[in-house]
């Protein structure tokens, strides 16, 4: 069984390596999905995989890399179709800002 969560992270999360850090953590957890900056200053991510690993990733997002300061993390069920936003052939992608 697989879980898909869409996560929005707010705080000082842009310009501090947050997307690269999420990519590294997600790949280490063998998750599928993507991460991108949003113009409102937040970071958005989609994680898909075993429920425990997805939950672990959301917990990691509450802390982020050392230079980040996370104020809030919101997670909600993700749409399986959103996985199609990934680049072809990638399990986890860093996407352009929206």
Residues belonging to the active site: 19, 37
Q: How large is the average pLDDT for residues 68-96?
A: 96
Q: Is the pLDDT of residue 53 over 90?
A: yes
Q: Work out the percent of the chain whose per-residue pLDDT is above 90.
A: 98
55 three-state secondary structure: helix
pLDDT-derived band at 1 (thresholds 50, 70, 90) equals confident
Please state the rounded mean pLDDT for residues 71-82: 97
Domains in the chain with CATH codes: 17-86 (3.30.70.100)
CA distance 56 to 72: 16
């Amino acid at each position: 069984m697989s879980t898909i969560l869409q996560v929005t992270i707010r705080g000082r999360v842009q310009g501090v390596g947050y997307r690269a850090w999420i990519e590294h953590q997600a790949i280490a957890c063998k998750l599928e999905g993507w991460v991108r900056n949003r113009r409102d200053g937040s970071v958005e991510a989609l994680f898909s995989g075993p429920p425990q690993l997805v939950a672990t990733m959301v917990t990691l997002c509450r802390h982020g890399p050392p230079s980040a300061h996370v104020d809030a993390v919101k997670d909600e069920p993700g749409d399986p179709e959103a996985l199609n936003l990934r680049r072809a052939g990638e399990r986890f992608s860093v996407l352009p800002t929206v």
